[in-house]
Amino acid sequence: MNTKKLLLLLLAALAVLLFFYLDLGRFLTLAALKANRQALADYYAAHQVVTVAGFMTLYIVQTALSLPGAAVLSLAAGAVFGSLPGTLYANLAATIGATLAFLVTRYLLRDAVLARFGPKLEGINRELETRGFNYLLFLRLVPLFPFFLINLAAGLTRLRLRTFVLGTMIGIIPGGFVYVNAGASLASINSLRDVASPRVLGSFALLGLFALVPVLYGKLVNRKG
């Protein structure tokens, strides 16, 4: 690994360590959001562009470094910006952050991981090259798979960048809208579990299965052929 790559990895690791050492996560809690909602709304009313830019930058950094707090940031988007604008800002920021994590993994870590686990990843690589969009859409829609792990795992494969970006942007719309829309009614939320109800999670799982239909159909046709 060359000096530039090593320096980037060290900076990323330092940022993560500082986040936990300074306990910055205390600002990304439901209680903190409720306590500061009015102040944030007032600041947004007076400084709209700065507030949106600051929010998106924070969300991008959080996602790129795989830090906790994404759910609260999505709620904050709804509480401050409203359902539709908040969904747009959160979706763009999350997609950019996920793409940065994907690129960092691909260009800084991929060679080392492939040298160790290359043969074991070959099957996954082959599937992602031929049906990558549908698989990625399934992973994004089904809430069983942690968001940050998908970013990192995809970076270790030969999945195309544009497929990753498009699959991520589309796949996170349903879940993002649920959280942002809930944030618009923040007073009624007492726990993050109030947002991700079993019915909502089941709906996401069903959407994910629909995304796999073309893949399963293709496998069936190939098997008959």
Q: Which residue has the higher pLDDT, 188 or 58?
A: 58
pLDDT (tens digit per residue) in 61-86? 999 999 999 999 999 999 999 999 99
Q: What is the pLDDT of residue 65?
A: 93
Give dist(CA 215, CA 101) in Å, integer: 26
Rounded CA separation 76/215 (Å) = 36
pLDDT of 199: 55
Domain tally, the chain: 1
Which residue has better confidence, 33 or 116? 33
Domain around 204: 3-224
DSSP states along 4-51: HHHHHHHHHHHHHHHHHHTTGGGGSSHHHHHHHHHHHHHHHHH-HHHH
